[in-house]
């Protein structure tokens, strides 16, 4: 014989109670599946937001480091056109480390903006740089003397 009673052998009130309990259990199982689905969705959203937060923190840290490097380069007196290249040379993560790195890099820094190209003043003047006139007036006199055929030495 079976230990489980047959529902048809139960009294009416017991069958009604059993039906209600089974209906409630089915409702709870459906609710549980809904909650598990929502939990999975929320867990995915939390992971996505966590990833976004980490990426934002990384971008912020990089921006802060770049800003600190730019400030150090400006304080070192680097002109605007050369700052980006100079900043690439800087090493370190603290302001003190970056300043020390900037001092080392300044030893090799040679701004080319506005600099005159190197030239030999004696070129074309007989190889004697001491005869090179310093002023416009001296240059005119030298030119005039050369036309007359009498050098101004």
Q: pLDDT, tens digit, for every residue of 92-135? A: 989 999 999 999 988 888 666 555 556 666 666 555 555 555 77
Quote the pTM value: 0.50
62 found inside a domain:
yes
Higher pLDDT, 94 or 8: 94
Packing angle of the helix pair 12-75, 95-106 (nearest 10 deg): 40
Instruction: Report pLDDT for 60.
Output: 96
Domain range for residue 88? 9-106
Q: Return all residues near 74 (Cβ < 8 A) that are at least 6 apart.
A: 83
151 found inside a domain:
no
45 found inside a domain:
yes
CB 111 within 8 A of CB 79: yes
114 found inside a domain:
no
C-alpha–C-alpha distance, residues 25 and 5, integer Å: 20
C-alpha–C-alpha distance, residues 115 and 99, integer Å: 26
135 found inside a domain:
no
- Number of compact structural domains in the chain: 1
152 found inside a domain:
no
């Amino acid at each position: 014989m079976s230990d489980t009673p047959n529902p048809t052998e139960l009294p009416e009130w017991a069958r009604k109670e059993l039906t209600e309990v089974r209906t409630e259990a089915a409702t709870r199982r459906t609710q549980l599946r809904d909650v598990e689905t929502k939990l999975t969705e929320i867990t995915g959203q939390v992971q996505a937001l966590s990833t976004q937060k980490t990426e934002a923190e990384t971008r912020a840290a990089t921006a802060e480091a770049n800003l600190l490097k730019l400030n150090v380069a400006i304080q070192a007196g680097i002109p605007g056109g050369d700052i980006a290249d100079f900043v690439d040379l800087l090493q370190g993560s603290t302001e003190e480390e970056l300043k020390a790195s900037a001092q080392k890099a300044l030893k090799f820094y040679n701004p080319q903006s506005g600099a005159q190209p190197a030239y030999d003043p004696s070129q074309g003047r007989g190889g004697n740089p001491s005869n090179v006139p310093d002023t416009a007036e001296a240059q005119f006199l030298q030119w005039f003397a050369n036309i007359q055929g009498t050098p101004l030495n």
